[in-house]
Amino acid sequence: MKYAWIEQQSVRWPVTRMCVLLEVSRSGFYAWRGRGPSARVRRDEELVVMLHACHAHHRGKYGRPRLTRDLRAAGFPVNHKRVRRLMLREGLQARRRRRFVRTTDSGHSLPVAPNLLERDFSASAPNQKWVTDITYVGTDEGWLYVALVMDLFSRRLVGWAMSDRIDTQLTMAALALALGMRRPPAGLLHHSDRGSQYCAHDYREVLDAQGITVSMSRRANCYDNSPMESANGTLKVERVYDEHYATRQQAIDDLTQYIGYYNTERRHSALDYDSPVQFERRWAMQQPNTQPDSIASYPPPRALPAYEAPQARARG
């Protein structure tokens, strides 16, 4: 380290003076310089190139744990301490999450369901527990509302829909996509907040027809649905806050691309840093008489806006 510092500062200060100051021999310094960089230094430089590439690929949103997994997957046997040192040296850090306001229309007279989930966010297989919520994205044309459905087993987004209106058509479109993609057996637990879009008769009828059990958060308690709240925040931080959407369709296309990335590439700490699709594939390979391809590996190429959903009314 002393020799490297002398090499770096040699354009400003005499080598002899710096060697005396640091109590090293001048002959030792010149011998070190003649040998060239050590194997560790060369390996660090290779790591730095890959580190910058991974950091850029994930738009600066990955921190040390996920970047360490990415580097290991690329064939670099690194630990988190080395990655931390190189990130500090290179000035790389993950973007921090903002706090954002969540709105739920619970001021209605529709019947609500009890909280059967009771903050038990574990699941031993796909299609045992789904959670859902609505978030919003600003565009120059106005708000775009986004309804999401997540499978708690793998944290995979299995249903989504987007619209300029926050109504039951929106949530039903997201649910229809999830049901079509996953075809869950009877007994699935569906958890949401107490918003009117989830309490609506039409929505509850679809759940009843599929043999799905309904669970709802307690009033004004976001912690009862924290995995879905976390996914909403991740979408905002990793995609929305960095973008400016001129039109709703531009936002739809960009968010659809992000959902594909979220499901197939983004590493989740709750899944031992696998992506949701990787996690489901590993699970499927361990099941008797189950092929990995039986679980869809990638979402459709474009989200289905509510106004294009089957049986939805036309919107201009």
Distances (CA, A) of 299 to 14, 103, 133, 158, 309: 62, 27, 19, 8, 16
* Residues 71, 47 contacting (CB under 8 angstroms): yes
To 5 degrees, how large is the angle CA 201–CA 121–CA 131?
30
197 in the same domain as 140: yes
Give the model's confidence band at 299: pLDDT under 50 very low, under 70 low, under 90 confident, else very high: very low
220 in the same domain as 300: yes
**Res 46: pLDDT:** 72
Domain contains 261 = yes
61 in the same domain as 207: no
* Residues 140, 151 contacting (CB under 8 angstroms): no
pTM for this predicted structure:
0.67
**Res 290: pLDDT:** 60
85 in the same domain as 158: no
Domain contains 95 = no
Q: What is the per-residue pLDDT across 42-97, written as a single tens digit (0 to 9) for each?
A: 677 777 777 777 767 776 667 777 777 877 877 778 887 887 887 787 777 776 55
Domain contains 265 = yes
Tokens 């360490």 found at: 68
* Residues 255, 162 contacting (CB under 8 angstroms): yes
302 in the same domain as 184: yes
Query: How many domains are contained in the chain?
Result: 2
201 C-beta neighbours (distance < 10 Å), count: 9
CA 36 to chain centre: 42
User: Which amino acid makes up residue 296?
Assistant: A
Of residues 151 and 236, the one with the higher pLDDT is 151
231 in the same domain as 157: yes
199 in the same domain as 59: no
Q: What is the per-residue pLDDT across 236-294, written as a single tens digit (0 to 9) for each?
A: 888 888 889 999 999 999 999 999 999 999 988 889 889 999 999 999 888 887 655 54
243 in the same domain as 169: yes
Kind of pairing between the strands at 129-139 and 189-192: parallel
Domain contains 222 = yes
- Over residues 196-213, the mean pLDDT reads 93
Residue-averaged pLDDT of the chain: 81
Domain contains 287 = yes
Which residue range(s) make up the domain with 176? 129-308
296 in the same domain as 177: yes
212 in the same domain as 146: yes
Domain contains 118 = no
Domain final position from 90, 119, 148: 90
Give the model's confidence band at 300: pLDDT under 50 very low, under 70 low, under 90 confident, else very high: very low
Domain final position from 65, 90, 115: 90
**Res 152: pLDDT:** 95
274 C-beta neighbours (distance < 10 Å), count: 19
Domain contains 122 = no
pLDDT exceeding 70 applies to what percent of the chain?
81
> What CATH number did the domain enclosing 293 receive?
3.30.420.10
Domain final position from 36, 71, 90: 90
Domain contains 166 = yes
Residue 310: pLDDT over 70: no
191 in the same domain as 261: yes
258 in the same domain as 187: yes
